[in-house]
Amino acid sequence: MKAEIATWIWIIGMTTIGMMVFAMGMSIGGNQLSDTQRYMAVQEFSGLVAKTKMVCQGDLENIYPYKCTFPDEIRAIYSSDVSGPPPDKVSVMISKETRSKGKFLCIQFYGDEPHCEEFNCDINMSYLGTPSLEQDLFSRVNQIIGGNVVHAYELVIEKTGTDEVMIISEKIISIKED
């Protein structure tokens, strides 16, 4: 009887230790995936900034198509008159494709301060990023299935005035990344 109890104690103890090691491994793996996605999002934003500056410095009606994808961890990508956070209801503005205008092009991750780049031109664009979950069926379905939601856009960056660049965006679809 004592041998049976000792065996069960060992089994329960080893199972508990195994679950703790598994949980720590998943946590480390999740953080690494998050860091990779953040790095890729910063790279995409840097590409958008570079292409927009190129169009801004070019001739009138200078046009550049650009495809980009951003993870669900991004609160918003937007233009603004000030180097500061987006409006409080930015997810609804993303869903409604509300436009903003200003000399700053900014990106903000959830829980972070925004990072903004200043331009010589006014940037006129729709808010991009994570839309309101109430209205984005694709994001909701992908989150239920599991995995990371990525928002893909086809952009057309066009110089429409002497100091105005318009970024026209079309959402391709929210897709799950494996």
pLDDT at res. 146: 57
pLDDT at res. 139: 54
pLDDT at res. 40: 85
pLDDT at res. 122: 93
**DSSP H/E element including 61:** none
Count other Cβ atoms within 10 Å, centred on residue 40. 15
Residue type, 76: A
Is residue 86 within 8 A of residue 75, CB to CB? The reply is yes
Which among 76, 71, 56, 75 is positioned nearest to 124, based on CA atoms? 56
Task: Show me where the domains of the chain are located.
Answer: 2-177
- Cα angle: 174, vertex 138, 173; to 5 degrees: 30
pLDDT at res. 90: 87
Tens digit of pLDDT at every position of the chain (178 positions):
666 777 777 777 777 877 777 666 665 555 454 677 788 889 999 999 999 999 998 888 788 898 888 887 888 999 999 888 888 888 888 888 899 999 999 999 888 899 999 999 999 999 998 776 654 555 555 555 555 667 888 999 999 988 899 999 888 865 555 4
Question: What is the C-alpha to C-alpha distance for residues 105 and 138, in angstroms, rounded to an integer?
Answer: 27
pLDDT at res. 4: 75
| Helix spans in the chain (H) | 2-57, 90-95, 137-145
Which among 64, 173, 75 is positioned nearest to 130, based on CA atoms? 75
Bridge-based pairing state of the strands 148-161 and 115-126:
unpaired
pLDDT at res. 125: 93
pLDDT at res. 79: 93
